[in-house]
């Protein structure tokens, strides 16, 4: 167990370096210099001043020197100052991170709560009427554009029915509410973004669980369990379920980049104050330090999620450790 | 179900190909006296904020969505198949390097990478296709690699090796046909995914640029007129849903047909 963890951590060092190389090169090879943004909108900036600006950010140095200087600062989470308001990019990102993590953690929980029963039912009662209906629903959820659902929900639930707020995370009078009122207010704001961000991932997950369960049900030990005279309920819940749910750990780990990626569009539509919205605004404003910070941090979170998933998996399934 | 889906896709492709004959109006023709008209006999899906016919815009939009789907997936297939085959066949350090690279790319939220590249280069239909294509290969590369690993030691591969078959021939005449099933399934589902991504980009204003139209772009205009023009938000979304759903249905049906492991119990 401990050895496996160490091995896994060593293995992730080159990946971590790779993440920084990719982030750096994406920004390095895209057209335009970061300083153009500051200089172009101000006609008073002379070409000498522009050059000074370029030198200030070290953009006149060779590429490997630039990368090394950037990397040295990234290690201590210093991504530089935002071009927009001059505040440290890492501070801006860390402020927004909790809202995104809150949305995604809730989304993962909701996805599990719905997908597990749906997947298992569909596998156990394969080709039944309800399985067919669930399959169609799952396929629709998987194929529907999330932003379109968001639009429709905003129109119907938010505007016509007026049940839920359609933007932001808190109401204007949030500070004056009681603790219970605050929680209620947060919950109300979270419902619509949560539904939209869960749709697609729930669909994928329930299909995995369905096919995983179908595989398990074909195994010999399930036949043995039936042969012993156990009831269907006992076989499914005591014998099959545990093994069918094992891959869940990996799939949840793998779904993290998708959730973070989805946050960019969902948070933008709902004006949700998370990292995705910040990232979209930063991209639109060419705010290099913030974009690079978000790239590195979201990739790092994914890597961390995968490591946790792998270690959990090896704890749950000893076969993995000895491979 | 899958046959229905296939028919629908063919139908949409026919519409896309023969767009000029099907659309009653020029998709870019503005008629400010006809702004935001609800669906009627003259404009069966209504008009948008510039008085353009929504149906005609959607017919032309089909061209964008379908071609983005096919071209993006072609790029994905090209990169994914080559990386996967090379990685699985040669093994060793080549395999390690390619797979570590794949792991790294998989750590990034794809949509974020796409947003950056599109925002920094000009948003255009070509850029959208290329970017979607070059960011979605890692999953396929892993699948192809796993398949190649499982057939690498089989007799027919060894036999071809002994006959000194060239590497190119080995890859494309002997190995590829044996690993093609999961690739086809991946492609069908990938087309749906690419159409979704394109519509998302267009919705954020980073996809196809006016006066060209795409389904996602009509949705983007529609969101500003939610209160007064529901048809701008409803129809394009429905068409995206139906198209993507059809591709996914076809993918699922192909999986059932091509994968002998998953027999009915």
Contact B108 A148 (CB under 8 A): no
- Number of Cβ pairs closer than 8 Å across A and B? 138
Q: How confident is the model at residue A320 (pLDDT cuts 50, 70, 90)?
A: low
Say what the pLDDT of residue A70 is.
Answer: 83
A309-313, Cβ contacts within 8 angstroms, sequence gap of 24 or more: A309/A249, A309/A250, A309/A252, A309/A253, A309/A254, A310/A8, A310/A250, A310/A253, A311/A1, A311/A4, A311/A5, A311/A8, A312/A249, A313/A246, A313/A249, A313/A250
Q: How confident is the model at residue A22 (pLDDT cuts 50, 70, 90)?
A: confident
Say what the pLDDT of residue B27 is.
Answer: 74
Q: How confident is the model at residue A39 (pLDDT cuts 50, 70, 90)?
A: low
Instruction: Name the closest residue on chain B to residue A127, using Cα atoms.
Output: B264
Chain A environment of B138 (Cβ under 8 Å): none
Contacts of B12 (CB under 8 A, 6+ apart): B62, B66, B243
Of the candidates B138, B126, B131, the residue with the CA atom closest to the CA atom of residue A26: B131
For residues A63-73, give the mean pLDDT.
Answer: 84
The answer to whether B249 contacts chain A (CB < 8 Å) is: yes
Cα(A302)–Cα(A294) distance, integer angstroms: 12
Say what the pLDDT of residue B238 is.
Answer: 92
Q: At what angle do helices B92-107 and A2-29 cross, to 10 degrees?
A: 70
Cα(B126)–Cα(A236) distance, integer angstroms: 51
Which among A32, A151, A260 has the least Cβ separation from residue B120? A32
Say what the pLDDT of residue A175 is.
Answer: 73
Where is mean pLDDT largest: A66-75, A308-317, B134-143? B134-143
Sign for the pseudo-dihedral over CA of B232, B236, B237, B239? positive
For residues B45-57, give the mean pLDDT.
Answer: 78
Instruction: Name the closest residue on chain A to residue B190, using Cα atoms.
Output: A143
pLDDT in tens, A84-132: 788 888 888 888 888 888 898 899 899 999 999 999 998 888 888 998 8
Provide the chain B residues 2-31 that lie in CB contact (below 8 A) with chain A.
none
Contacts of B32 (CB under 8 A, 6+ apart): B50, B51
For residues B243-248, give the mean pLDDT.
Answer: 92
For residues B222-246, give the mean pLDDT.
Answer: 86
Q: How confident is the model at residue B241 (pLDDT cuts 50, 70, 90)?
A: very high
Cα(A165)–Cα(A192) distance, integer angstroms: 9
Which among B105, B116, B241 has the least Cβ separation from residue A143? B241
Chain A environment of B230 (Cβ under 8 Å): 155
pTM of structure: 0.86
Contact A240, A224 (CB under 8 A): no
For residues B40-66, give the mean pLDDT.
Answer: 80
Contact B237 A151 (CB under 8 A): yes
Interface test with B, best of A143, A152, A160 (most B CBs within 10 A): A143
Instruction: Name the closest residue on chain B to residue A135, using Cα atoms.
Output: B249
pLDDT in tens, B170-192: 888 888 888 888 899 899 999 99
Residue A60 has pLDDT above 60, yes or no: yes
Which among B100, B111, B234 has the least Cβ separation from residue A265? B111
Provide the chain A residues 108-137 that lie in CB contact (below 8 A) with chain B.
126
pLDDT in tens, B85-102: 999 998 889 999 999 999
pLDDT in tens, A254-312: 788 778 877 888 888 888 888 888 999 888 888 888 888 998 988 888 888 888 888 88
pLDDT in tens, A219-266: 888 888 888 888 888 888 888 888 888 878 888 887 887 788 778 888
- The percentage of chain A sitting over the pLDDT mark of 90, rounded to a whole number, equals 4
Contact A18 B101 (CB under 8 A): yes
- For B68-90, give one letter per residue: b (16+ CB within 10 A) or e: bbbbbbebbbebbbebbbbbbbe
Say what the pLDDT of residue A42 is.
Answer: 64
Say what the pLDDT of residue B263 is.
Answer: 45
Contact B240 A145 (CB under 8 A): yes
Q: How confident is the model at residue A33 (pLDDT cuts 50, 70, 90)?
A: low
Q: How confident is the model at residue A38 (pLDDT cuts 50, 70, 90)?
A: low
Residue B265 has pLDDT above 50, yes or no: no
Instruction: Name the closest residue on chain B to residue A11, using Cα atoms.
Output: B100
pLDDT in tens, A136-181: 899 899 899 988 998 888 888 877 787 777 777 777 777 777 778 7
Of the candidates A302, A37, A157, A20, the residue with the CA atom closest to the CA atom of residue B107: A302
pLDDT in tens, A121-138: 988 888 889 988 998 899
Identify which has the larger pLDDT, B209 or B73.
B73
Chain A closest-CA separation from residue B110 CA (Å): 6
- Alpha carbon distances (Å) from A166 to A99, A286, B140: 16, 28, 38
Chain A environment of B236 (Cβ under 8 Å): 148
């Amino acid at each position: 167990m401990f050895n496996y963890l160490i091995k896994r951590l060593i293995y992730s060092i080159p990946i971590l370096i790779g993440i920084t190389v990719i982030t750096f090169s994406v920004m390095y090879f895209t057209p335009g210099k970061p300083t153009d943004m500051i200089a172009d909108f101000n006609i008073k900036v002379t070409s000498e001043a522009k050059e000074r600006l370029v030198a200030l950010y070290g953009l006149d140095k060779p590429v490997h020197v630039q990368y090394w200087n950037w990397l040295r600062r990234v290690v201590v989470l210093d991504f530089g100052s935002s071009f927009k308001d001059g505040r440290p990019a890492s501070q801006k990102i860390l402020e927004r991170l909790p809202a995104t993590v809150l949305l995604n953690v809730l989304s993962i929980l909701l996805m599990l709560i719905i997908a597990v029963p749906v997947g298992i039912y569909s596998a156990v009662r394969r080709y039944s009427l309800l399985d067919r209906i669930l399959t169609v629903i799952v396929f629709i959820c998987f194929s529907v554009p999330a932003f379109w659902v968001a639009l429709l929900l905003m129109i119907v639930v938010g505007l016509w029915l007026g049940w839920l707020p359609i933007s932001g995370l808190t109401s204007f009078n949030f500070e004056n509410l009681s603790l219970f009122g605050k929680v209620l207010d947060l919950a109300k704001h979270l419902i619509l973004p949560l539904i939209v961000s869960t749709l697609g991932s729930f669909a994928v997950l329930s299909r995995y669980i369905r096919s995983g369960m179908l595989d398990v049900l074909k195994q010999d030990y399930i036949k043995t369990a039936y042969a012993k005279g156990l009831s269907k309920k006992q076989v499914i819940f005591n014998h099959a379920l545990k093994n069918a749910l094992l891959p869940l750990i990996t799939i949840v780990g793998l779904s993290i980049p998708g959730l973070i990626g989805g946050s960019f569009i969902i948070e933008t539509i709902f004006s949700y104050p998370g990292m995705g919205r910040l990232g979209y605004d930063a991209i639109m404003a060419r705010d290099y330090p913030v974009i690079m910070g978000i790239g590195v941090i979201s990739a790092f979170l994914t890597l961390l999620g995968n490591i946790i998933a792998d270690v959990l998996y090896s704890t749950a399934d000893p076969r993995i450790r000895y491979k | 179900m899958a046959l229905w889906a296939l028919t629908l896709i063919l139908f949409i492709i026919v519409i896309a190909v023969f767009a000029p004959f099907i659309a009653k109006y020029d998709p870019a023709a503005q008629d400010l006296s006809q702004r935001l008209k609800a669906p009627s006999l003259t404009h069966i899906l209504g008009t948008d904020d510039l008085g353009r016919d929504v149906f005609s815009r959607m017919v032309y939009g089909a061209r964008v969505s379908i071609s983005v789907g096919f071209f993006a997936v072609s790029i994905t297939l090209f990169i994914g198949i080559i990386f996967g085959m090379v990685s699985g066949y040669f093994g060793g350090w080549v395999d390690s390097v390619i797979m570590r690279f794949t792991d790294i790319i998989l750590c990034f939220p794809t949509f974020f990478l796409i947003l950056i590249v599109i925002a920094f280069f000009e948003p255009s239909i070509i850029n959208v296709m290329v970017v979607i294509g070059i960011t979605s290969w890692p999953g396929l590369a892993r699948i192809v690699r796993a398949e190649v690993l499982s057939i690498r030691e089989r007799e027919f591969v060894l036999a071809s090796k002994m006959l000194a078959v060239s590497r190119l021939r080995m890859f494309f005449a002997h190995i590829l046909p044996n690993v093609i099933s999961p690739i086809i399934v991946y492609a069908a589902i990938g087309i749906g995914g690419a159409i979704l991504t394109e519509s998302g980009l267009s919705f954020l204003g980073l996809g196809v640029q006016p006066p060209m139209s795409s389904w996602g772009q009509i949705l983007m205009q529609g969101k500003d007129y939610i209160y007064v023009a529901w048809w701008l938000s409803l129809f394009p979304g429905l068409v995206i849903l139906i198209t993507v759903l059809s591709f996914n249905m076809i993918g699922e049906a192909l999986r059932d047909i091509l994968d002998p492991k998953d027999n009915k119990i």
